[in-house]
């Protein structure tokens, strides 16, 4: 029995994609919390440097992972079933981000949902602030992932995570199918609040037969942005950082992007149960990201940008009882063309320049041990080739995902 419980946990938690989106169960109130803390052996970039992958226009919450112990994520979630068809979810949490960047808590979820029209579903209408549903990995928390670090394409194309205010109508997991559309206010990277709105459509199918479970899906996302800044370092009143004696620091060049962003992707997850003890899994996602617009800055310089970028990750894993071994390979390619008198300087200032034709890649080998139902440990070796200088770093972390109320095993419906 105990073995089956752990197998179920590891199987749900790792091999198959999970979502930050959540539909509460039948109980009146559910309260849960999670904390993910990780020690890393090295920084991605030095102090007073800015993490910008050559060829990419980054932003959002894609802070560089830093040396030492960091809280990658801390969440407190409340779900309530208002009546048979209506529910509400509130989640408060912090983003990971060293040097105090992500320390402040924010409301990540605050939405109302309505299930229609049979009992229950299959149509679900949700309104409020919430994660997106179009990409499974984008809505997955650090504690739910096999690896502690978010996929490279999520960092580059969506600023690591996606929380926005909007409305979602979807056909919810009926006969294995889920499909729907979302319309957002545009507060989440790569859009911004000054844009004309953001929308996406998605569909996925889950199929299971015998020892095999497969999930396949695809999505399309469209946004626009007006003078979108990289709010990690710029977008407001900026100064040259104060560097310690002997070190130098440069002010962040506050370039902006105005234009259209089109992204589409496909994702797949496969789980194959070899025996009662062994489970093999394979997950992956591929995205294509296009930008058509203008890069500009505060002194009136601008250049046309036509960018085609794509990337993805593939993650095979094998689980034995409480242990899971996995390997994630990631790659990103960028094809950018800037035109205009200011093109050379804006390419440099924006981070789009990629003189050496660098193809960012990253490989992560991970071992995860589910010590208790709510507590897991993981160790990772990361070969990071996202920047011009390669880096090998190690990470050791602990994941706690607790159900605070009620204590029963009946849980809500988590995606």
Partner 1 sequence: MFVKKLRAGPVWPALLLCVSALLSGCLESSSTTVDDQGARVSSFDWDLPESIPLPKEPEDNPMTEAKFQLGRHLFYDRRLSTNGTVSCAGCHQQDKAFSDGVARPFGATGEQHPRNSQPLVNVAWASTVTWGNPSLGTIERQILLPLFGDDPVEHGLNEANSEQVLRSLQADPTYGPLFQAAFPEQNDPLFGDLAWDNVVKALASFVRGLVSFDSKFDRGELSASAQRGERLFNSERLECFHCHAGYNFSDATVDRLTTFNQLMFHNTGLYNVDGMGGYPEPNTGRHEVTGDPDHMGQFRAPTLRNIALTAPYNHDGSVETLEGVIRNYAAGGRVLTTGPNPGDGRMNPFKDGFITSFAISEQEIDDVVAFLESLTDESFITNPRFSNPWNSTGQETP
Residues lying near partner 1 in the complex (CB under 8 A):
54-55, 211-212, 214, 239-240, 242, 251, 268, 270, 272, 274-275, 278, 280, 282, 284, 286, 288, 296, 299-303, 310-312, 314, 316, 331-347, 352-355, 357-360
Question: Whose Cβ is closer to partner 1: residue 162's or residue 313's?
Answer: 313
Q: How far is the CB of 48 from partner 1 (least distance, A)?
A: 14
Phi–psi pair at 396, nearest 5 degrees: -130, 130
d(CA 190, CA 255): 14
Question: Whose Cβ is closer to partner 1: residue 83's or residue 275's?
Answer: 275
- Residues 97, 103: contact at Cβ < 8 Å? yes
Q: How far is the CB of 226 from partner 1 (least distance, A)?
A: 15
Q: How far is CA 346 from CA 247, 262, 339, 349, 374, in A?
A: 25, 22, 10, 5, 48
Q: How far is the CB of 354 from partner 1 (least distance, A)?
A: 4
- Residues 317, 326: contact at Cβ < 8 Å? yes
**Tokens 């695809």 identify what position?**
218
Q: How far is the CB of 112 from partner 1 (least distance, A)?
A: 38
Question: Whose Cβ is closer to partner 1: residue 192's or residue 213's?
Answer: 213
d(CA 171, CA 375): 33
Q: How far is the CB of 274 from partner 1 (least distance, A)?
A: 4
Question: Whose Cβ is closer to partner 1: residue 314's or residue 379's?
Answer: 314
Going by C-alpha positions, the residue among 146, 277, 122, 273 that lies closest to residue 208 is 273
Question: Whose Cβ is closer to partner 1: residue 24's or residue 326's?
Answer: 326
- Helix segments in 13-136, DSSP class H: none
d(CA 154, CA 297): 25
d(CA 48, CA 50): 7
Q: How far is the CB of 369 from partner 1 (least distance, A)?
A: 21
Q: How far is the CB of 280 from partner 1 (least distance, A)?
A: 7
Question: Whose Cβ is closer to partner 1: residue 92's or residue 280's?
Answer: 280
Buried b (16+ CB within 10 A) or exposed e, 376-385: bebebebebb
Question: Whose Cβ is closer to partner 1: residue 18's or residue 310's?
Answer: 310
- Residues 402, 409: contact at Cβ < 8 Å? no
């Amino acid at each position: 029995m105990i073995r089956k419980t752990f197998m179920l946990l590891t199987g749900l938690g790792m091999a198959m994609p999970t979502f930050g989106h959540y539909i509460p169960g039948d109980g009146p109130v559910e309260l849960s919390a999670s904390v993910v803390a990780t020690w890393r052996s090295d920084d991605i970039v030095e102090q007073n440097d800015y993490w910008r992958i050559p060829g990419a226009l980054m932003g959002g919450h894609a802070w560089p992972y830093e040396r030492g112990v960091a809280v990658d994520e801390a969440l407190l979630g409340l779900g309530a079933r208002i009546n048979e068809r209506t529910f509400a979810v509130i989640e408060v949490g912090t983003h990971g981000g060293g040097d105090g960047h992500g320390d402040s808590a924010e409301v990540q979820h605050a939405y109302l949902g309505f299930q229609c029209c049979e009992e229950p579903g299959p149509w679900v209408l949700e309104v409020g602030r919430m994660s997106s549903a179009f990409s499974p990995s984008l809505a997955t928390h650090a504690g739910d992932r096999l690896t502690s670090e978010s996929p490279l394409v999520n960092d580059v194309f969506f600023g690591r995570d996606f929380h926005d205010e909007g409305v979602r109508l979807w056909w919810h997991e009926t006969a294995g199918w889920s499909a729907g559309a979302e319309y957002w206010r545009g507060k989440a990277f790569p859009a911004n609040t000054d844009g004309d709105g953001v929308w996406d459509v998605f569909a996925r199918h889950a199929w299971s037969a015998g020892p095999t479970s497969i999930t396949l899906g695809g999505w399309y996302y469209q946004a626009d942005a007006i003078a979108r800044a990289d709010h990690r370092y710029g977008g407001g009143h900026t100064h040259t950082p104060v560097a310690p004696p002997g070190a130098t620091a440069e002010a962040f060049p506050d370039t902006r992007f105005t234009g259209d962003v089109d992204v589409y992707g496909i994702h797949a997850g496969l789980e194959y149960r070899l025996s009662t003890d062994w489970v093999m899994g394979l997950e992956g996602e591929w995205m294509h990201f296009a930008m058509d617009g203008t890069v500009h800055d505060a002194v009136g310089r601008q250049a046309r940008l036509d960018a085609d970028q794509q990337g993805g990750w593939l993650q095979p894993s094998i689980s034995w009882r409480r242990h899971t071994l996995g390997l994630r390979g990631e790659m990103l390619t960028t094809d950018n063309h800037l035109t205009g008198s200011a093109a050379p300087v804006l390419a440099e200032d924006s981070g789009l320049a990629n003189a050496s034709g660098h193809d960012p890649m990253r490989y992560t080998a991970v071992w995860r041990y589910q010590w208790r139902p709510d507590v897991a440990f993981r160790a990772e070796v990361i070969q990071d080739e996202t920047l011009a200088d390669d880096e090998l770093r190690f990470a050791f972390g602990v994941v706690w995902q607790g159900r605070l109320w009620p204590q029963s095993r009946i849980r809500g419906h988590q995606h």
